[in-house]
A and B are shown apart, each in its own frame.
Chain A
Amino acid sequence: MKSWAYWKNIYILIIPIIIMSWQEILKNAYISGFGVLLMVAALLVFTTPQPVNSEAYNETTTFCNVSVNYIIDVSISNVPVIFDSLNPGTSDNQPTSGGWPVNVTVHSNTNTAWNLSVKASGDFSGPDTLSISNLEFGNTSTNVEEQMDTSYVSPFTDWVQQADPSSDVTRSIYFDMTIPSGATAGDYSTTLYINVTQYSS
């Protein structure tokens, strides 16, 4: 698409010539050879492309690049999670030490958006195995309904795509435990992984 400046130049050139021509035709007037040459010269001058900004041709550019490091600083507290002694066939048991809640603090020196997720290393091991799905977690004390998995899960909206924090930000994780009927007596344990990684869109 031609610009307005282009068409303006064309009109400036063409309109006087048309007017002059009709005046000459009507008057059957005389135009000198010099006049014709002048018009041809004007035609060449006006239709020759001109640089828009001649200063641009004198500039020297250089590439400047800076890369800002990714900083993530996270602390966890109120761990480990200890449920003490529980009976088979009981559900939604709260821990007696730790885990109500576990606090995950993303410190203010973190400079990137982040995601929080959790997983377990595997089922509870002991005299027998207890499925890891018997351990439930939530982000509030009234919402402890998510079953733990051995893959990272991030089921809450305040765990995902969280902004670069301007002050320390804490997310609480509440745990409870179900002991299935017929579970063999003994001590069981597992390891949970808390993952805070930069969020990339």
Chain B
Amino acid sequence: MSTPVLAQEDAPVYNFGTMQADRNIMIGPGETGDAKLYFFNIHGNRITHIRLYVKEAPEGWNIEINPEVHTEQFKVSGLTVNSTENLYVEPSVSTPDIPEDKPEGLEYIRMEGVDGYIPAKVVKITIRVPEEEEAGKTFRVGVEAIANWFGQKGMVTFSQSRTFDYYITTISKEYSEEVLQPERSEKTVSEKGNLFGELPETYIVIGILILIVLLQLILYIRKR
């Protein structure tokens, strides 16, 4: 049971900050690749509860999200509330240095416009490509994150959602390289398939030069 305590009298601000790393990944058939998503809450004053879904994936692919969906208990204004979620992110502030006793699952990231280090919770997306998948193709995997907040008891409550796309290029397990011979068409042979690999105008010029030389040789022989 988690017991994060947060008491705020300010007007609620529901913040959902994310950083997506590893958007383009290369994975071999039968292998797995990892990508990280970072979640932070430096502009809000309420705990953000996040649930992630696989929104889109090629058939037969296995996508794992860690931490997995689980149930956490929270005490909200004196009431015990169950939340089904992957993680929650408490409001925080940036720190000038990374603390030595860094809590597990927390990383400190830097970004433009914010001084110091921002504490961020990390979600690992593990993508397994099926053994039989063709190499050399690119596939899209979509993961959707939905952020919710407690304490909204109204007629219309709000969630934030965000989609994270990953582009997975399948590669061969072992490195190989071979020269592919282009198919020769009639046009290719007539234009480039000659002795020197040059275009016809070169031969016109060479022909004229040979004629001149022959003419001079004839003159030379006659003279003798």
Give residues in A with beta carbon < 8 Å to B.
2, 10, 13-14, 17-18, 21, 24-25, 28, 30-33, 36, 39-40, 43, 47, 67, 69-83, 95, 97-99, 102, 105, 107-109, 111, 124, 135, 175, 187-197, 200
User: What separation, in Å, do the CA atoms of A21 and B42 have in the docked complex?
Assistant: 88
Give residues in B with beta carbon < 8 Å to A.
11-24, 40, 42-44, 111-114, 146, 152-165, 199, 201-202, 205-206, 208-209, 212-213, 215-217, 219-220, 223
Contact (Cβ within 8 A) A71 B19: yes
User: What separation, in Å, do the CA atoms of A105 and B17 have in the docked complex?
Assistant: 11
Contact (Cβ within 8 A) A195 B156: no
Going nearest first, the 8 A-B pairs with the smallest beta carbon separation are A80-B154, A73-B17, A81-B156, A70-B20, A109-B113, A80-B152, A75-B15, A82-B154
Contact (Cβ within 8 A) B14 A80: no
User: What separation, in Å, do the CA atoms of A189 and B157 have in the docked complex?
Assistant: 8
Residues of A within 8 A of B24 (CB): 67
* Known contacts A2-B201, A14-B208; A31 and B220 CB within 8 A of each other: yes
Contact (Cβ within 8 A) A69 B19: yes
A43, A79, A111, A195 — which one has the most chain B CB atoms within 10 A of its CB?
A79
Contact (Cβ within 8 A) B213 A39: yes
Could you pull out 5 A-B pairs where Cβ atoms are within 8 angstroms? A69-B21, A75-B15, A77-B14, A192-B158, A197-B162
Residues of B within 8 A of A97 (CB): 154
Q: Given A17-B209, A77-B13, A80-B154, output 5 extra A-B contacts at Cβ < 8 Å.
A: A30-B223, A79-B14, A107-B43, A189-B155, A194-B158
User: What separation, in Å, do the CA atoms of A174 and B201 have in the docked complex?
Assistant: 73
User: What separation, in Å, do the CA atoms of A171 and B18 have in the docked complex?
Assistant: 19
Contact (Cβ within 8 A) A78 B11: yes
Within the complex, which residue of B13, B23, B157, B219 is in contact with A25, where a contact is CB–CB below 8 Å?
A: B219
A28, A80, A189 — which one has the most chain B CB atoms within 10 A of its CB?
A80
Residues of A within 8 A of B202 (CB): 47
User: What separation, in Å, do the CA atoms of A67 and B25 have in the docked complex?
Assistant: 11
